[in-house]
């Protein structure tokens, strides 16, 4: 099963799209602390072991048999807390109209607009999740597999909405994207390549567009230029590593694209008003005296 898996479906009149699917989601240990966000919902079902999800100042420990659902545009990171972790990951988008009637299915699914992070038991969903896993790994013709997945995804979302619970009508926009696959590629590029120099040229090349077109797309998607978005991601990652890892300042500097630790320290000081060493001393219990503070 390929990681990028675009599949449109319809939950009783509500358009949706499966963005990604990974039966055995694994994150490289080197990036286990990196914060990132997506333009779609991200559902994690922990089959074995346990892991911790960090979102802003909150942390959520999810044990086997439980799930974690992360809403779009929320920065988060994932840490494995057991060596036997096995986890399924499903990314999907919903296009909920803001003026749905109270008795329509759109209103039934409105709980998806009401939270940043939702955790809970997966007991009522396990059968559907297992069938999704089996369908994606089956050898049946692709047409039958995709049609079965459409039905299973609709069932999954209805049960998730029931578990999240009824909420008042939402006020925030559901954020329908113009080109979902393109936006997914842009998000993933920033998440995985924030250390690159000249990354804007690389990204434009991958999207087969000009630098000027890329700038217009980024302004529309994030309200920022490439450099502004890059620095935002670098700051998020840097602060996460300073607070939750024992990597040296020099190592964090290199990971985030700064060959000179002094330039990195100046960047952090300018953005936060504190040096990396001050941030670590105030927030991290794991630093060591030889970690190279600025």
Q: In angstroms, rounded to a whole number, what is the distance separating the alpha carbons of residues 103 and 113?
A: 17
Q: What angle do CA 5, 193, 248 make, to 5 degrees?
A: 130
Taking the model in full, what pTM does it have? 0.63
Topology annotation, domain 180-283 = Arc Repressor Mutant, subunit A (1.10.10)
Spell out the CATH class of 4-164: mainly beta
pLDDT per residue of the chain (294 residues) written in tens, 0 to 9: 344 467 887 776 778 888 777 776 555 444 444 677 788 899 999 988 998 888 866 788 999 999 999 998 888 888 777 788 888 888 888 887 665 555 566 677 778 888 889 999 998 898 998 888 888 887 888 888 888 888 898 888 888 988 888 654 444 444 434 466 788 788 888 888 888 888 999 998 888 888 888 999 999 888 999 999 999 989 988 988 888 888 899 999 999 999 899 999 999 999 999 999 999 888 755 445 445 557
**CB under 8 Å, gap of 24 or more: what pairs does 197-205 form?**
197/257, 199/226, 199/230, 200/226, 200/227
Q: Is the fold of 4-164 the same as that of 180-283?
A: no
Q: Where are the domains of the chain?
A: 4-164, 180-283
């Amino acid at each position: 099963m390929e990681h990028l898996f675009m599949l449109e479906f319809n939950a009783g009149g509500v358009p949706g799209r499966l963005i990604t699917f990974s039966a055995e989601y694994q994150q490289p240990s080197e990036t286990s602390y990196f914060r990132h966000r997506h333009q779609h919902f991200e559902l994690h079902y922990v089959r074995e072991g346990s892991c911790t999800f960090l979102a802003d100042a909150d942390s959520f420990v999810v044990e086997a048999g439980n799930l974690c659902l992360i809403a779009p545009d929320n920065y988060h990171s994932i840490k494995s807390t057991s060596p036997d972790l096995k986890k399924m990951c499903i990314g999907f988008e919903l296009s909920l109209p803001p003026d749905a009637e109270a008795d329509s299915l759109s209103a039934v699914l409105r709980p998806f607009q009401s939270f940043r992070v939702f955790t809970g038991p997966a007991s009522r969903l396990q059968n559907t999740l297992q069938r999704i896993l089996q369908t994606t790994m089956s050898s049946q013709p692709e047409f039958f597999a995709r049609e079965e997945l459409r039905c299973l995804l609709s069932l999954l979302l209805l049960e998730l909405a029931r578990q999240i619970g009824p909420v008042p009508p939402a006020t925030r926009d559901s954020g329908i994207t113009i080109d979902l696959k393109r936006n997914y590629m842009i998000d993933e590029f920033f998440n995985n390549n924030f250390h690159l120099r000249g990354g804007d040229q690389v990204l434009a090349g991958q999207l087969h567009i000009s630098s000027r077109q890329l700038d217009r797309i980024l302004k529309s998607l994030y309200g920022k230029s490439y450099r502004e978005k890059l620095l935002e991601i670098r700051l998020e990652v840097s602060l996460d590593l300073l607070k939750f890892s024992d990597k040296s300042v020099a190592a964090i500097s290199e990971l985030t694209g700064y060959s000179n630790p002094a330039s990195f320290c100046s960047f952090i000081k300018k953005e936060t008003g504190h040096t990396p060493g001050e941030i670590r001393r105030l927030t991290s219990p794991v630093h060591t005296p030889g970690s190279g503070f600025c």
